[in-house]
Amino acid sequence: MRPVRVAWTFLRLGAINELQYRLNFFVAAFQSLLAVAVALVVLRLVYSHTTELNGWSEPELMCVLGIQILLGGVIRAAIQPNMERIVDEVRDGKLDHALTKPEDSQLLVSVREFRIWRTVDVISGGAVLGVGLARLEASVGAGEALSFAGLLLVGGVLIYCFWLVLATGAFWIVHMWFLAELFEGVYATGRWPIGIYPGWLRYSLTWLIPIGFAITVPAEAVTSRLEWTTPLLALAFAAALFLVTRWFWRFGLRRYSGASA
Amino acid sequence: MAAVDVSELTKVFRVPEREAGLRASMRALFQRRHRDVRAVDSISFAIGGGEVVGFLGPNGAGKTTTLKMLSGLLYPTAGEARVLGFVPSRRERDFLRQITLVMGNRNQLQWDLPALDSFELNRAIYRVAREDFRRLRDELIELLDVGDLVRKPVRNLSLGERMKVEIVGSLVHRPQVLFLDEPTIGLDVTMQKRIRSFVAEYNRRYEATVLLTSHYMADVEALCRRVIVIHHGRILFDGPLTQLGSQFAGYKTIEVALANGAADLSRYGDVLERDADRVKLRVEKADASRVTALLLSEQEVIDLTIEDPPIEDVIELVFAEASE
């Protein structure tokens, strides 16, 4: 598996790089704990006034929150840094080095950065998910666990595609500094099941910015709410978006001119 | 088959344009104006395998754009380029595995890690067998004498040291075609020499083709027998470096040492320099032999040399002529 090997080589290098800076770990851990604590307090506050929110109980929403934090960790460790680097390198012409390598350019630009300390969010998100599941007192069967893992992967692919489409925009729009803030803001909406949002927002968060697919759908898998058509739809959507993203990346590359040319 | 074959290659950039000032900026928000810039304008040349060719031109002449088209980074607007038989813009793996692009002002090594880690990364990307990689890497490290540098984080290296390890990293896959864009820019003279002799040695050892751009004529004189001069995207000259002077410079310099150092030689030609008993004269190329004969017969000459003008002066002359 060539792409996996290339990704692994970069991941290893990224880990070596980050392991030099232990302080970053403590900063990341503190940030993560603080974010989890605030989110849990908000959740408690909401459920001190009600017992369910659009059919979701507090432990179920803890699962959604756990998945949102966990996936957020994956995004901040592996997706976002790569996408931000693309934007920077398109602007100052440094993408040259990636493009003269005998490797698929999309693969290469997608795996070059890895922030190992951000994976603390994966652990804290996993812990919140675990507590939520324990409080549900419902046993998660092997089938549910498997579809959860698969749907989480599909969710990761969807978010990656979304980010890459935005980053590819740098071939046309030179200054895209607002991307990270924009994404962070929208991603925060994934803390709640998309069903609670009004129609237009629900559709936007499903099809336009696929946060619904990435977070709520895996949560449905572990809370026994999943309809059998949903995973198929998620998979088909991810495959289609991946193909579109690939085409868009290649289309954007044709516009690349480098900075000094 | 030529290693590099370029035919009518053209690159036009569409650049936004507006006047200075706030009002113009506001207007540009609604009404964009663009201008087409022909960075490379229908150039053709061929470079044989193992040749080292200097690519000369002032800033903005189209050198880097050409190199970027040849390394597959830019899509040509028109014309055709082939490198080792491949069309660069298709960026096929077999093509990219055989070339390298070194840019003097850019760094591709991992900033916070020792260069050895970046070399290993390149090994994985270029799929070089571990044994071959180690052999070539150690050979390059020895050639550039960077054994004690490759274990230090790149950020702790000086500019020259960084360039040397950068070159090692760019060559660990043993490319057959080297595109070197200002590889010695900003380096001190000793470091420039070291890199020059390294490029010459790499070319000799592996019969690699080298296309080099540099603002330092010493680089070009030391490495390239052939030069291509480009200006405003067009080729002004393509031929042996030695012919550049005779084609473009209409004069020669005569340096003469006299027994009577104080003699006035202004009637023989333009006096460029006078240093004790030595005088440097500039004379029309066609007059050189006649003036020499006159000097020898009329003055008490101790020593006399006739030379083409320095290559820097010729290049300056070429660009000045082309701009007129």
Q: How many other C-beta atoms lie within 10 A of the C-beta of residue B137?
A: 21
Which has the higher per-residue pLDDT, A255 or B45? B45
Of the options 3.40.50.300, 3.10.580.10, 3.10.450.50, 3.10.20.30, the CATH number for the domain spanning B4-245: 3.40.50.300
At B78 the pLDDT is 94
Domain ranges, ordered by start, for chain B: 4-245, 250-307
Calculate mean pLDDT across residues A231-250.
94
- How many CA atoms are closer than 13 Å to the CA of A151, on its beta-carbon side? 29
At B251 the pLDDT is 83
Q: How many angstroms away from the CA of A28 is the closest CA of chain B?
A: 20
Alpha-carbon distance values, A83 to A76, A93, A153, B14 (Å): 10, 15, 18, 26
Q: How many angstroms away from the CA of A59 is the closest CA of chain B?
A: 44
- In terms of Cβ atoms closer than 10 Å to its own Cβ (0-12, 13-18, 19+), residue B12 is middle
CA dihedral B89, B93, B94, B100 (to 10 degrees): 70
Which B residues in the span 25-84 are in contact with A, Cβ-Cβ below 8 Å?
A: 39, 64-65, 68, 71-75
pLDDT band (50, 70, 90) for residue A85: very high
SS3 label, residue B196: helix
SS3 label, residue A211: helix
Cα Dmax for chain B: 76
Whether the complex's predicted ipTM surpasses the cut of 0.90: no
At B59 the pLDDT is 81
Calculate mean pLDDT across residues A59-70.
94
Question: DSSP letters of A8-65?
Answer: HHHHHHHHHHHHT-HHHHHHHHHHHHHHHHHHHHHHHHHHTT-S-BTTB-HHHHHHHH
Which backbone phi and psi does B56 adopt, to 5 degrees?
-110, 150
- How many CA atoms are closer than 13 Å to the CA of B167, on its beta-carbon side? 30
DSSP B108: -
Calculate mean pLDDT across residues A79-96.
90
Evaluate if residue A260 carries a pLDDT over 70. no
The answer to whether residues A100 and B103 touch, using CB atoms and an 8 Å cutoff, is: no
Cβ–Cβ of B125/A108 closer than 8 Å? yes
Q: Tokens for B280, please give them.
A: 């440097």
At B323 the pLDDT is 64
Q: Which of B14, B29, B93, B106 to mutate to test binding with chain A, by most A CBs within 10 Å of its CB?
A: B106
Mention every residue, 6+ apart, whose C-beta is less than 8 A from residue B278. B255, B256, B257, B258, B261
- DSSP H or E segment with residue B282: strand B278-284
Question: DSSP letters of B52-68?
Answer: EEEEE--TTSSHHHHHH
Q: What is the pLDDT of residues A10-51, one digit of tens each?
A: 998 888 888 888 888 889 889 999 999 999 999 899 999 988
Q: Of A96, A103, A257, which has the smallest distance from its Cβ to B106's Cβ?
A: A96
At A258 the pLDDT is 62
Q: Of A9, A254, A260, which has the smallest distance from its Cβ to B121's Cβ?
A: A9
Q: What is the pLDDT of residues A200-227, one digit of tens each?
A: 988 888 888 888 889 999 988 888 888 8
At A261 the pLDDT is 39
- Closest by alpha carbon to A61, among A186, A156, A151, A195? A195
- Closest by alpha carbon to A128, among A179, A72, A205? A72
At A152 the pLDDT is 93
Cβ–Cβ of B125/A103 closer than 8 Å? yes
The answer to whether residues A186 and A209 touch, using CB atoms and an 8 Å cutoff, is: yes
Superfamily of domain B250-307: YebC, transcriptional regulation domain (3.30.70.980)
The answer to whether residues A125 and A68 touch, using CB atoms and an 8 Å cutoff, is: yes
Mention every residue, 6+ apart, whose C-beta is less than 8 A from residue A255. A171, A172
- Closest by alpha carbon to B48, among B10, B87, B4? B4
The answer to whether residues A256 and B74 touch, using CB atoms and an 8 Å cutoff, is: yes
pLDDT truncated to tens, each residue of chain B (324 aa)? 789 999 999 999 887 777 778 787 777 777 777 888 899 999 999 999 999 999 988 888 899 999 999 999 998 999 999 999 999 999 999 999 999 999 887 788 888 889 999 999 999 999 999 999 999 999 999 988 899 999 999 999 998 889 889 999 999 999 999 999 988 888 888 888 988 999 999 999 999 999 999 878 888 888 999 999 998 899 989 999 888 877 777 788 899 998 877 778 888 888 888 887 888 888 988 888 999 999 899 888 889 998 877 777 777 777 776 666
